[in-house]
Amino acid sequence: MKAMLSPVVGHLDPDFVKVMDSIKKMLRMVFRTANEITFPVSGTGSAGMETALTNLIEEGDEVVIGVAGVFGQRLADLATRLGARLHRVDAEWGRIVEPERIEQALRAAKAPKLVAIVHAETSTGIHQPIEEISKMAHARGALMVADGVTSLGCVPLEIDAWQIDACYSCTQKGIGAPPGLAPVTFSARAMEAVHKRKTPCRSWYFDLALIEKYWGPERVYHHTAPITMNYALYEALRIVVEEGLEARFQRHRANAAALQAGLGGMGLGLAAQEGFRLPQLTTVTVPSGIDEAKVRAQLLEKFNVEIGAGLGPLKGKVWRIGLMGESCKRENVMLILSALETILESMGFEIARGRSLAAADRAYNGAAA
C-alpha cells in the first residue's frame, strides 16, 4: 500500500520503464523461467486466462481441457467461445484429473493444439499434478497451458523444468499484492504459435503480438498500464524474492499442516482428495445440521476473519480456508481454529475445547523437529 502512494508517472516514462524491467526480472525468478515474454497483463487473473487461450486458440483447433472445478470449467467455456473443438476431461469435484484420462483424450484428438488444466483448483482445494501431463502434451505435439492463479508463490511451479508453454496467475494470492494484474509467461514455442496464427487474435486488448512490443525493448504504446498496480506488484515481488521461494513454500506447508491437524482435532473432515490437498487452500466439510453461511457471517462479524463458501456442487457443503502469501502465518491458523471452536460449540456441535489448538501445536513442533 505504501508503494502505491508513490508518484504516478507516465506509462512510457524512463523511470517506469525501469520498474517494468525489474518486474519482468523478478517474475521470471518466481515463475522459474527464462522466458522473454513474462510480464503482468493489465487485468485480474481471469484476464491472464483470456490472454493465454485467446492468443493460442484459433477456430477449429482441437484442445484438451481438464475440468475438476469452477476454474477448469471456465477454461472449457472460453475455449468453446473461441471456436475450439473441445475434448473435455471431467473429474469429480474434490479429486484430481487423472493423467491417464488426459492421455486418452490426446489420443482421441487428431491434431491437438494444446492441453490446459488448473494447477491449484481454488473451488475444491485440489493440487493437480501437471508435470506428467505436460510430457504427454508435448509427445502429441501440443502446447501445455497451466492455470497458476492459486499456485504461484505458494507451491512449486516450475515453468521451464516442467516445459509449461503458457501460464497465468494473479497478484492477490501467493504474490501478496492487491488484485488487478495477471502475471503471465509464454515459452518461445508458444510465441511461435502466436506469430504463426492464420487469423488475428480475437482480442485486441490481449493480443500478445501487440503487447510484447510495449513490454519489450521497442516500448511501442499499446494501452495505458495501471502504474500504481505495477508499483504494488514490484514491491510484493521484492518481498517474495527476499524471503526466498523454498522458504515460502515451506511456510505454506507448515501452516497448512497445522491448520489441517487442528481441523481434524475439532472433528471436522477435509473435502479434497487425500495426497493432493493444497497447502494454501483447505476445503472443510460442513458438519451436518450446521448453517455454514451463519458460521461465515459470525467469523467475519466477531473475529474479522473471512473464509470462502463452497462453489458449484460444493455450495453449502464446504468452507474454503485460504492461507496465502502474507496471510499464511501461525497466528492466523490459531485464530481461525479458536474462532471455529467458539462458533460451532455455540451452535450445538460437540467439541472438546482446546483440542484443535493442541493438535496444531503438535504439528508445528513436529515441523520444527
Helix or strand or coil: residue 87?
A: strand
pLDDT tens-digit readout, 282-316 = 999 999 999 999 999 999 999 999 999 999 999 99
- Domain identity same for 98 and 204: yes
Q: Which three cell numbers stand for residue 31?
A: 515463475
pLDDT tens-digit readout, 227-253 = 999 999 999 999 999 999 999 999 999
* Domain finish residue from 243, 260, 275: 243
Mean pLDDT, range 185-192, rounded to an integer:
98
pLDDT band of residue 165 (cuts 50, 70, 90) is: very high
Residues 249, 247: Cα–Cα separation, whole Å: 5
- Domain identity same for 203 and 342: no
Mean pLDDT, range 203-220, rounded to an integer:
95
Q: Could you give the percent of the chain with pLDDT greater than 90?
A: 97
Residues 79, 178: Cα–Cα separation, whole Å: 28
Mean pLDDT, range 10-23, rounded to an integer:
95
Residue 369 has pLDDT above 80, yes or no: no
Residue 51 to residues 138, 166, 190, 219, Cα–Cα distance (Å): 21, 10, 12, 19
Residues 142, 250: Cα–Cα separation, whole Å: 33
* Domain finish residue from 186, 215, 243: 243
Residue 63 to residues 88, 89, 132, 183, 354, Cα–Cα distance (Å): 8, 11, 17, 23, 50
- Domain identity same for 200 and 265: no
Dihedral sign of CA atoms 51, 56, 61, 62 in order = negative
The whole-number pLDDT of residue 204 equals 97
- Domain identity same for 22 and 96: yes
Residue 260 belongs to a domain with what CATH number?
3.90.1150.10
- Domain identity same for 187 and 283: no
* Domain finish residue from 243, 259, 291: 243
Residues 264, 274: Cα–Cα separation, whole Å: 13
Angle in degrees, CA 127, 312, 296, rounded to 5: 85
- Domain identity same for 8 and 98: yes
The whole-number pLDDT of residue 299 equals 98
- Domain identity same for 134 and 269: no
**Per-position DSSP letters for 55-83, written without gaps between them:** HH--TT-EEEEEESSHHHHHHHHHHHHTT
In sequence order, the 6+-apart residues with CB closer than 8 A to the CB of 10 are 16
pLDDT tens-digit readout, 254-273 = 999 999 999 999 999 999 99
Mean pLDDT, range 178-185, rounded to an integer:
98
Task: Please provide the size of the chain in residues.
Answer: 369
Mean pLDDT, range 33-45, rounded to an integer:
98
Residues of the domain holding 42: 3-243
Amino acid at the residue 322: G
Residues 39, 26: Cα–Cα separation, whole Å: 10
Residues 353, 180: Cα–Cα separation, whole Å: 41
In sequence order, the 6+-apart residues with CB closer than 8 A to the CB of 30 are 152, 153, 175, 183, 237, 240, 241, 245
- Domain identity same for 180 and 312: no
- Give the count of domains, the chain: 2
Mean pLDDT, range 59-79, rounded to an integer:
98
Residue 368 has pLDDT above 70, yes or no: no
